[in-house]
Amino acid sequence: MPTPQPKPFAFYGRVSTEDNQDPESSRNWQLTRATTIIRPHSGQIVTEYFDVGQSRSLPWQRRIQASRLLAALRDPRRGFSAVVVGEPHRAFYGNQFGLTVPLFTHYGVELWVPEIGGPIDPDNEAHELVMSVFGGMSKGERNRIKLRVRTAMAAQTLLEGRYLGGRPPYGYTLRELGPHPNPAKAANGKQLKGLIPDEQTAPIVRQIFTEFLAGIGLFAIAEGLTANHVPCPSAHDRARNRHRSGIAWSKSAVRVILTNPRYTGRQVWNKQRTDEVLLDVDDVAMGHTGVMRWNPRDKWVVSKEITHEPLIDDTTFEQAQAILRHRGRGTGGQHLQQRTRNPYVFRGIIYCAACDRRMQGQYNHGDAYYRCRFPQEYALANHVPHPRNVYLREDALTDPLDTWLASAFAPQRLEHTITALADAQPVAHPPATGIPAQAIITECDAKLERYRAALDAGADPTVVTAWITQTQADRARAEAELHALASTTPHRLTRAEITALVTALGDIAAVLRDADPADKAKVYRQLGLRLNYQPETQTVRAEVDLSAHRGEMVCVRGGT
C-alpha cells in the first residue's frame, strides 16, 4: 500500500512580555503540544506563525504573525490545509474565537486545538462553548495578572517607598542602591535605583517654591527663568524630550513642579493610568488601545516615610497647594479630564503658520473659534516672533473650504483632481539595500516549492520539514527587512488606488451640504485635510493628503 501523504499544518503560538517567559522556551513547549496532537493523524507542521511581545488582548488582525496567518488563509497556494494552536489561552482572548473562526470556515481551513483533541467543528455547540470558556479564562488570567502587579506596586510604594522606574522628576537624578531585591533580576545584574538631588536642577526647584510663596505668579517665574538662561526641563534632558521644543520655560512646567509631592522626599505612584478604549467604535472587532490619563489626587499612592533626600519640607509644599487652590488657577495637582461639549469640525487639523502648532478650539458667545496663544505657554522673554493672540472664526472658513472641496471633487472635475493628486506625489525610488532582501525572498519561495515536491515524491518528512522551517525563517527575516525599508520610503499611490480612495468617499458635495459637524469632520479626516492659517495675510492653505498633496489658498475673514 502507498504511504499516506502527511497532512500539512501551520502552527500558531504567542508569548507576550508580560508573561515574563523566555520566547524560545515558550515556543518549544507550545510547538510540542501542537505536534503531539497532529502526529497520530500524519500531520506535519510546514510553517510557523509565532507572535512575540504581542498582548493577548490584541485581536488577530493587529498581531503581526496572526495577521500574516489570516492573510495566508486567502492564498490558495498557502501550502497548508489546517492550523494547529499550541495553547488556546494564548491564541484567543475574550470573544476573539467567535470573531476569527468564521474566516477559517470560509476558506476551508481546519483549526486544531489540543483541548478539543482534534479539529474544531464549527457546527458543534460543545466545541464553541469550550473555546468561549477558554477565551473567558484568558481574559480573567490577564486581569488577575494586572491586579496582582498593581497591588504589589502600590504596596512597594506605600510601605517600602521603592522607586518603581520611569524618568526621575526635574531636580533629581538616579543612583544605584545595590542588587535588586528580586533574586532573578539580581542574578541578571539589575540594580535597585533611587533618587538623589541633581546639583544643577535641585536649586532651581527650591527657587521656584521660594518665589511662588513670595507672591510671584507662574508666568512671571517662567519668564524669569528663561531670561536668566536656565534650561527648561525638556531642554535639560533632550535625550528623552526630543518631541518637545525646549525653547523656554512654560507655566505648565512650573505648575507640575509645584504640585509634585516627590520633592518632599516621598515616593509617589499611580499618578497616571492606562484606560483601554475602543480603537474604532464602528468596528468593535478591532479591539482596544491604551490611552494614558491622569488620576485624581486622591488616587495617588504616596509613601508613608521619607525615602530620598527632600528638596522642600512638607510645610512649604502644603502652602504652595493652598495658594494654588485659593487662586483657582489649577487643580491642586489634579489633572482632570476635560469634557468637550461643543463640536469643532476642524479639530486637530488646523495649524498656526507662525509656529506650526495645532490651534485650540474655543467657543465665544456661541460661536466656534480656533486660537493660538504661543507666548502664553512659552515665556515672552524668549522673544518668539508670534502675535500675542491668533483667532480664527470657524464659520469664516467653512463655506469657502466646502466650496473648494465640492468643486474639486465634482463629477466634471474629478478626473482633473485625481490627475493632480497623482502627479503631485513625490517620486519614490526604492533603496538599493532592498534588492538583496527581495532576492532572498525569491530564492526562499523557489526552495519551498522544491521541498514540497520532495515531500510529494516520498522524501523523509522529518528532514524536509526542518528544511522548510529554516527557509521560512529566512524568508520572514527578509520580509521584515523589506517592511522596515518600506516604512521609511514614501509610498507612491497608483492612479487606480487614488481613484478607489476618492470613490470610497462618496459624493463629497452632498455630504458637506447641510451636514452635521461630526459628518463634516469625518470627511475632512478621510481626505487627510490639513489647514494652515497665516495670521498676517488672513489666509488658510488647505492641503488634501492621500499620500499625495494638493494645495490651494482660501481667503477668509474673522482672523486676527
Amino acid at 386: H
Nearest-CA neighbor of 357 among 533, 95, 497?
533
Question: Residues 485-524, buried b or exposed e (16+ Cβ, 10 A)?
Answer: eeeeeeeebeeeebbebbeeeeebbebbeeeebeebbebb
Residue 342's pLDDT is what?
66
Q: What is the mean pLDDT of residues 325-349?
A: 63
For 230-279, how does the pLDDT look when each residue is reduced to its tens digit (9 = 90+)? 998 988 888 777 767 677 888 889 999 999 999 999 888 888 888 888 77
Please name the residues in contact with 96: beta carbons below 8 A apart, sequence gap of 6 or more. Answer: 59, 60, 135
Find the helix or strand (DSSP H, E) in which 99 lies.
helix 96-106
For 133-170, how does the pLDDT look when each residue is reduced to its tens digit (9 = 90+)? 888 888 888 788 788 888 888 888 887 778 777 788 99
| Contacts of range 60-63, beta carbons closer than 8 Å, 24 or more positions apart | 60/96, 60/99, 60/100, 61/285, 61/286, 62/286, 62/287, 63/14
Higher per-residue pLDDT: 220 or 486? 220
Amino acid at 101: V
> Rounded CA gap, 443 and 426, in Å?
32
Residue 525's pLDDT is what?
79
At the top level of CATH, the class of 172-327 is alpha beta
| Cβ(38)–Cβ(461) below 8 Å | no
> Rounded CA gap, 273 and 344, in Å?
27
| Cβ(351)–Cβ(531) below 8 Å | yes
For 445-479, how does the pLDDT look when each residue is reduced to its tens digit (9 = 90+)? 888 788 777 766 766 666 666 677 777 777 777 77
Residue 513's pLDDT is what?
63
Q: What is the mean pLDDT of residues 187-197?
A: 83
Higher per-residue pLDDT: 353 or 501? 353
538's torsion region: left (phi>0), alpha (psi -120 to 50) or beta?
Answer: left
Residue 38's pLDDT is what?
92
> Rounded CA gap, 318 and 305, in Å?
17
Residue 10's pLDDT is what?
94
Q: Are strands 367-372 and 360-364 parallel, antiparallel or unpaired?
A: antiparallel
Residue 499's pLDDT is what?
72
Please say if the pLDDT value at position 560 is more than 50.
no
| Cβ(48)–Cβ(472) below 8 Å | yes
344's torsion region: left (phi>0), alpha (psi -120 to 50) or beta?
Answer: beta
CATH classification number, 7-143, choose in 3.40.50.1390, 3.20.20.10, 1.10.1840.10, 3.30.540.10: 3.40.50.1390
Quick one: the chain helix, strand, coil %, rounded to 5? 45, 20, 35
Residue 69's pLDDT is what?
92
Please name the residues in contact with 118: beta carbons below 8 A apart, sequence gap of 6 or more. Answer: 37, 41, 112
Q: Are strands 82-85 and 301-302 parallel, antiparallel or unpaired?
A: unpaired
For 198-226, how does the pLDDT look when each residue is reduced to its tens digit (9 = 90+)? 999 999 999 999 999 999 999 889 988 98
pLDDT confidence tier of residue 380, bands split at 50, 70 and 90: low
Q: Are strands 529-534 and 539-545 parallel, antiparallel or unpaired?
A: antiparallel
| Cβ(352)–Cβ(369) below 8 Å | no
Higher per-residue pLDDT: 10 or 439? 10
Q: What is the mean pLDDT of residues 183-195?
A: 78
- Residue given cell 528623552 in the structure block: 240
- Residue given cell 475632512 in the structure block: 524
Higher per-residue pLDDT: 416 or 555? 416
Domain ranges within the chain, ordered by starting residue: 7-143, 172-327, 340-428+490-560, 437-488
Nearest-CA neighbor of 468 among 453, 445, 448?
448
Nearest-CA neighbor of 70 among 86, 53, 51, 87?
51
pLDDT confidence tier of residue 183, bands split at 50, 70 and 90: confident
Q: What is the dihedral of CA 19, 25, 31, 34, to 10 degrees?
A: -60
Helical H segments across 341-425, by residue range: 374-377, 394-408, 414-423
The per-residue pLDDT of the chain, averaged, comes to 80
Please say if the pLDDT value at position 75 is more than 70.
yes
| Cβ(387)–Cβ(549) below 8 Å | no
